[in-house]
Amino acid sequence: MSTLQNDLYLRALLREPTERTPIWMMRQAGRYLPEYREVRKQAGDFMALCKNAELACEVTLQPLRRFPLDAAILFSDILTIPDAMGLGLYFEAGEGPKFERPVRDLAAISKLGVPDPEQELGYVMNAVRTIRRELNGKVPLIGFSGSPWTLATYMVEGGSTKNFSQVKKLMFAEPQAMHMLLDKLAQSVTSYLNAQIAAGAQAVMIFDTWGGVLSPRDYREFSLRYMQQIVQGLTREADGRRVPVTLFTKNGGAWLPEMAATGADALGVDWTTDMGTARALVQDKVALQGNMDPSMLYASPARIEEEVATILASYGHGTGHVFNLGHGIHPEVDPEHAGAFIEAVHKLSPAYHR
């Protein structure tokens, strides 16, 4: 494998010194880019795009051609695992993902198998290998998965939800069934991420999009516990380098100290928690990623730069900060504004690393 020309992102995740703060954006490959929309049209539909290694590679590389980003993230979806479990994933225009066969009881859950990442999910590994080859050491490649709790919410609800009634009903009325589902998902995510690492991912991230809808006690029991199980089962070295793992619970600011105790290298922070507060909470035990509100990219470039300055000052001097949005970039954002955001981080962050 080629040596990395830019390893700022990996160094920051391991809290090693860097010349500036590295930056990438959640959903940096996506609908805000006209070139992405072209390829998506060519693919026919979203899952067809995910399953075509060449096209998935193309859209992964698109933002890197446009912007001086410090990492590429695999183009895929968090629902690949439930899809591989045979739940019949499909996408309704304007409504997001849906499952033909949601699982809502012990009988349905006990029938689920743990997918083989090189078989049922082989298309993801093909994409990882293709992207890693095409990146040719330019920047590191991030692999990812949804968290067990987040995947379970989609599997039990049958799609997106506003009130989480089905999944919480299962969790409170049949906790044993819920734990069986989460355990199968934790095993699936562990083998899936390890296969991505074996295929060439140089860092991995676990997205716990819906952990923030739980009470503190339920978060520990039904979300954090299973993410910790995954962290403990991950391959932590490849190509002679450490493979850092980042956990991200949206609206999880209150639980950062407990997340820091899982053994993860880094934690994602959304915009509802101040970066300085987050840093004090984790006591520099882990790196932090974040945390500009994605909607700030609708503002003028001058206002965006002001916000970048505020976040950098809030985190303060020293390493261990990866600049990012607090969640995915919105589809309607002008790419020029994304460019202004990245430029501001390049311009203002070196002062914090002297």
In whole angstroms, give the CA distance from residue 324 to residue 294: 9
DSSP H helices, 159-248, are 165-173, 175-199, 216-219, 225-233
> Average pLDDT for residues 333-337, to the nearest whole number?
98
Q: Is 270 left (phi over 0), alpha (psi -120 to 50) or beta?
A: beta
> Average pLDDT for residues 122-149, to the nearest whole number?
98
Residue 293 lies in a domain: no
Which residues form the domain of 71?
A: 22-269
> Average pLDDT for residues 85-110, to the nearest whole number?
92
Q: How confident is the model at residue 264 (pLDDT cuts 50, 70, 90)?
A: very high
Instruction: Give the SS3 label for residue 25.
Output: coil
1 has pLDDT over 50? no
Q: Which two tokens stand for residue 85?
A: 């479990």
Residue 189 lies in a domain: yes
Residue 115 lies in a domain: yes
* Catalytically annotated residue among 9, 32, 154, 226: 154
Q: How confident is the model at residue 141 (pLDDT cuts 50, 70, 90)?
A: very high
171-204: per-residue pLDDT in tens?
999 999 999 999 999 999 999 999 999 999 999 9
346 has pLDDT over 80? yes
Q: What pTM did the predictor assign?
A: 0.97
In whole angstroms, give the CA distance from residue 220 to residue 289: 21
Long-range residue pairs from 229-237, CB within 8 A, at least 24 positions apart, any chain: 229/183, 229/186, 229/190, 230/147, 230/148, 230/186, 230/189, 230/190, 230/193, 230/206, 231/262, 231/263, 231/264, 232/263, 233/190, 233/194, 234/190, 234/193, 234/194, 234/197, 234/204, 235/194, 235/197, 235/198
> Average pLDDT for residues 76-96, to the nearest whole number?
92
Residue 91 lies in a domain: yes
Between vectors from CA 175 to CA 169 and to CA 180, what angle results, nearest 5°? 115
In whole angstroms, give the CA distance from residue 239 to residue 199: 11
In whole angstroms, give the CA distance from residue 269 to residue 34: 28
User: Of 93-102, 152-161, 230-239, 257-266, which gets the smallest average pLDDT?
Assistant: 93-102
Residue 51 lies in a domain: yes
220-263: per-residue pLDDT in tens?
999 999 999 999 999 999 999 999 999 999 999 999 999 999 99
Residue 234: give its domain's CATH number.
3.20.20.210
* Catalytically annotated residue among 7, 11, 36, 77: 77
Instruction: Give the SS3 label for residue 262.
Output: coil
Query: What pLDDT shows up at residue 2?
Result: 56
11-36: per-residue pLDDT in tens?
999 999 999 999 999 999 999 999 99
More confident residue, 91 or 230: 230
Q: How confident is the model at residue 94 (pLDDT cuts 50, 70, 90)?
A: confident
- Residue ranges for the known binding site for substrate are 27-31, 77, 154, 209, 327
CB-count burial class (<10 Å; 0-12, 13-18, 19+) for 233: middle
pLDDT > 90 in the chain, percent: 97
83 tagged catalytic: no
State how beta strands 141-146 and 203-208 pair: parallel
Residue 291 lies in a domain: no
Q: Tell me how far apart the terminal alpha carbons of the chain are, to the nearest angstrom.
A: 32
* Catalytically annotated residue among 11, 20, 27, 104: 27
In whole angstroms, give the CA distance from residue 299 to residue 307: 10
Query: What pLDDT shows up at residue 230?
Result: 98
Burial pattern 183-207, b for ≥16 Cβ within 10 A else e, equals bbbbbbbbbbbbbbbebbbbbbbbb
Instruction: Give the SS3 label for residue 351.
Output: helix
Q: Which two tokens stand for residue 57?
A: 């590679």
Residue 71 lies in a domain: yes
E strand or H helix that includes residue 56: helix 53-66
**Whole-number mean pLDDT of the chain?**
97
27 tagged catalytic: yes
> Average pLDDT for residues 90-117, to the nearest whole number?
93
* Catalytically annotated residue among 40, 104, 132, 279: 40
* Catalytically annotated residue among 31, 37, 220, 242: 31
> Average pLDDT for residues 2-11, to the nearest whole number?
92
- Look at the chain and report how many structural domains it folds into: 1
129 tagged catalytic: no
Residue 10 lies in a domain: no
Q: Per DSSP, which regions of 35-170 are E strands?
A: 72-73, 89-92, 96-99, 141-146
Query: What pLDDT shows up at residue 3?
Result: 86
